[in-house]
Chains A and B, each alone.
Chain A
Amino acid sequence: MYRYSSKIAWQSLDDEVVVIDLENRRVLGLNSSGAFVWTLAETHTVSQIADALSDGYDVEPSIARSEVQSFFDDMCGRGLLEKIA
């Protein structure tokens, strides 16, 4: 499971998300699929999100799983998400 970093602010609008990194004063925009994964990050497991992504975006389950994990690794690397379990 993951949680949003305490150094960010974020909001969604339609199918997009904007994340503000308050420490580095940068703004990150997430497109539809990124926003979909981001909004589920605190409440769903990687497997659950991958299944939902696969269903909603017509992506092969194995690819969806890889994409979601890669997304989370990227966000954690930027310090925008934190892994908690």
Chain B
Amino acid sequence: MTPEFDCSFTLFKARAHERSIPLTAHLELTYACTWRCAFCYNSRHKDIAPLPLRNWLAVLDDLRSLGTLFVTLTGGEPMAHPHFFEIAREVRRRHLAVTVFTNGSLIDSAAADRMADIRPLSIVLSLHGATAPTHDRTTGVPGSFDALMHAVRHLQSRALPVVLRTPMTCWNEHEMDALIALAQGFEIPLRLDPALTPCDDGSRDPLDLQMSASGIDRLMRRLSAIGSLPTSIRVPGGSNCGVGRSTLAIDPEGTVYPCIQWRHAAMGNVRTTPLTELWTESAARKEAAAVALQVNGWLVSRDEAFATTPYCPGEAVLRAGSPFAASHAFELQARATQRLRGPS
């Protein structure tokens, strides 16, 4: 009965993938949001037929029995859901780890106390600029930067595990160094993400804000300098990602997808079919898992730059109608990363 630490988890994750256990679930509680981000991938900000609380609780029971360990509550703005804290508590009552993706606009002192009671694995806050003008321009909400800074302080004062995440755009790339300095000032991890994605309805409007080629190059240099170049380890016969195997996503109306980015082929809806049945029976899930294998083979066969750069087939389908369609931004990232790594 000797316990083992840390190293066992990598094996656990690999086995979950091999056995098609949905280790991670993204629950989009609501499309409602307090911000109107210029590049938002949600095509609407209102729930037409919100999933009732009892259905969400049944989903949590099914996730527990399916083998899920990580539940991410996202949106929209998940804290705008009327039962956000109740659902988060119920996730924890089932001994699952909860991560919250939030813009922080609804986190005051009282909300931070309630968040502390949940004991989240992490709280990922959206930061869109190092200054109020840049951040607020992106969110479309004057005062959102100051509100976010207050939220960070409320959460930090309770020793909660906060992470900042910044989708890099042509509007904020000039503040890259200041963003890093801001996060360092708070002593909080910062994720700088070079990828924007099309809207869930296929609209490519968000891509108009894609950061420049020189911005991507500079970002990769900065990430390289701190040893954080985004890297995927692919091997022949492996799988590109967890789509259809170790992830799933459920939208605010109960529709289930094999991944939060895989929006073009749903598995079904939990209002009419239990999640356990959808997961085991869905042809859409199995097809997505097969595509992940094919995409891995395609990337490995291209060259080392492609083979080692993170790639999202769901995003490719939304953008180009095929999972085998590298974007210009992906190619720039792959080439820049390869130059920085040097020959293997």
Query: Across the interface, do B2 and A13 meet the contact criterion of CB distance under 8 Å?
Result: no
Q: Is B158 interfacial (CB 8 A cutoff)?
A: no
User: How many whole Å from A21's CB to the nearest CB in chain B?
Assistant: 10
Distance in angstroms between the alpha carbons of A4 and B64 in the assembled complex = 15
How many whole Å from A75's CB to the nearest CB in chain B?
8
A1 within 8 A of B: no
A38 → B minimal CB distance (Å) = 9
Interface size of B by CB at 8 A reads 27
Bound form: Cα–Cα A20–B92 in Å: 12
Number of interface residues of A (CB under 8 A): 29
Selecting from B4-12, B140-148, B149-157, B323-331, the interface stretch reads: B4-12
CB distance from A30 to the nearest CB of B (A): 6
List of B residues within 8 angstroms of A37 by Cβ: 1
- Contact between chains at A18 and B1 (CB < 8 Å): no
Q: How many A-B pairs with Cβ below 8 Å? A: 76
Given contacts A6-B92, A30-B1, A37-B1, contact A11 B67 (CB under 8 A): yes
Cβ distance A17 to chain B, nearest Cβ, rounded Å: 9
Residue A61 lies at the interface, judged by CB distance under 8 Å to chain B: no
User: Contact partner of A28 among B4, B16, B121, CB < 8 A?
Assistant: B4
A20 to chain B: closest CB distance in Å?
A: 6
Q: B111: which A residues are within 8 A, CB to CB?
A: none
**A-side contacts of B3, CB under 8 Å:** 28-30, 34, 74
Chain A residues at the B interface, C-beta cutoff of 8 Å: 4, 6-14, 16, 18, 20, 22-23, 25-31, 33-34, 37, 67, 70-71, 74
* B residues in contact (CB < 8 Å) with A: 1-9, 11-12, 15-16, 19, 21, 23, 67-69, 92, 95-97, 119-121, 161
Q: Can you identify 9 A-B contacts, CB atoms within 8 angstroms?
A: A6-B119, A13-B21, A16-B12, A27-B8, A27-B9, A28-B5, A30-B4, A33-B1, A34-B2
Given contact pairs A9-B121, A18-B69, a sample of 20 additional A-B residue pairs in the complex whose CB atoms are under 8 Å apart: A4-B95, A7-B119, A9-B92, A10-B69, A11-B68, A11-B95, A13-B12, A13-B67, A14-B15, A18-B8, A18-B12, A20-B97, A20-B121, A22-B120, A26-B6, A27-B5, A30-B1, A31-B1, A67-B1, A70-B1
